[in-house]
Amino acid sequence: MPRSYPRFKAAACHAAPVFLDAGKTGEKACALIREAANAGARLIAFPESFIPGFPLWAALEAPYRSHDLFAAFAAQSLRRDGPEIAAVRAAARRSGVIVSLGFSEASETSAGCLWNANLLIGSGGEILVHHRKLVPTFYEKLIWANGDGRGLRCALTELGRLGMLICGENTNPLARFALMADGEEVHISSYPAVWPTRPAGEEGGYDLRRAIEIRAGAHAFEAKAFTLVASAAIDDSLYQALRGLDRAARETIEASPRAASMILDPSGKVISEVLSEEEGIVYAEIDLSRAVEPKRFHDVAGSYNRFDIFRLEIDRRPREPAVFRDAPWAESPAKIPPEGGAGATEET
């Protein structure tokens, strides 16, 4: 039976979270899903840590001065089974669209352990892929823990095979190749609004927009995959939440190069509007058949490789803090034997 190549409209949301307010940001995400779906989009991507926002203060303030901000951020971080995620899943189901959502994930086992996470949500509201950023980048290590390999996989959907990486992971050749080797056809990458590395006025700071352009173009070209880039914007809610920082911190935010949102084709060409300073949604028409011809030239997960020479092993097992092996009666408190062990023989 001949293979079919889906055609569809994709959207990348260049949006500002309601900073440190998970509930209101979740509502904004649902509104943007409706807007993009009404415009015909079937795949909608959101920025890195969109809910409840990116912890920018980690770049601007000494750790011992930011305990209150970290506590507020942890309190607004989400659990996978929490109400904010449930609302976004319901919005995806109502609109019949696939959604990529960046969020700060809270731990079930620790009040202070967080992950930089991303969910790929199917058009029926189901969770297709749950990814945690493998290594937090630079000062992000003050906020988030290392992730594991559970999310290094593509979801086979009605729109093709979809994969995703978070921010600096798009610089990691092995992480990117893991998705290529899993048949990735559409790649989703997510970013914050700014990523300061030097005070305002100093030369040599990190140009986030230029880094995005290089990474997105490289992956689109190497993977021969359509690439969605969803970056955050900044609004006054961020400045209000960080008003306790000094003037130099605000000047650094204002002077830092802004991220950009865009969509690229398998040649690395930008095929959408590019948004950087202003909020909005960028759209592009995706035709997966356009990746066939380029793969005749360079198919690094196929004919343009030497698997007899190179070998990559990827461990996608989830990592948990402990493995608990309970006694048979542990599932039912009524079956726990009395203190001293009487009756234990019958239960075991």
Q: If you write DSSP's letter for every residue of 284-307 in order, what string do you get? A: EEEEGGGGHHHHHH--TTTTTS-T
Confidence of residue 106 (pLDDT cuts 50, 70, 90): very high
**Using one digit for the tens of pLDDT, what is the confidence trace for 327-337?**
776 555 555 45
Q: What is the pLDDT of residue 326?
A: 87
Q: What is the pLDDT of residue 327?
A: 76
Q: What is the pLDDT of residue 332?
A: 55
Which is catalytic among the residues 28, 48, 140, 184? Answer: 48
Q: What percent of the chain lies above the pLDDT cut of 70? A: 94
**Side chain identity at residue 11, one-letter code:** A
Angle between helices 208-223 and 173-181 (to 10 degrees): 40
- Cα 243 from Cα 278, distance rounded (Å): 22
Predicted TM-score (pTM) of the model is 0.92
Q: Rg (Cα) of the chain, in Å, rounded? A: 22
Q: What is the pLDDT of residue 328?
A: 73
- Answer yes or no: 28 catalytic: no
Q: What is the pLDDT of residue 344?
A: 42
Helix (H) or strand (E) run with residue 128 in it: strand 127-132
- Answer yes or no: 277 catalytic: no
pLDDT greater than 70 at residue 340:
no
Q: What is the pLDDT of residue 339?
A: 47
- Answer yes or no: 167 catalytic: yes
**Using one digit for the tens of pLDDT, what is the confidence trace for 237-248?**
999 999 999 999
Which is catalytic among the residues 133, 140, 154, 169? Answer: 133
pLDDT greater than 50 at residue 342:
no
Q: What is the pLDDT of residue 83?
A: 97
Which is catalytic among the residues 28, 167, 169, 185? Answer: 167
**Side chain identity at residue 343, one-letter code:** G
**Using one digit for the tens of pLDDT, what is the confidence trace for 281-322?**
999 999 999 999 999 999 999 999 999 999 999 999 999 888
Q: Left (φ > 0), alpha (ψ -120 to 50) or beta: where does 320 sit?
A: beta
CATH number 3.30.70.270 is the correct assignment for the domain at 7-297: no
Q: What is the pLDDT of residue 3?
A: 85
pLDDT greater than 90 at residue 132:
yes
What's the whole-number mean pLDDT along residues 176-195?
Answer: 98
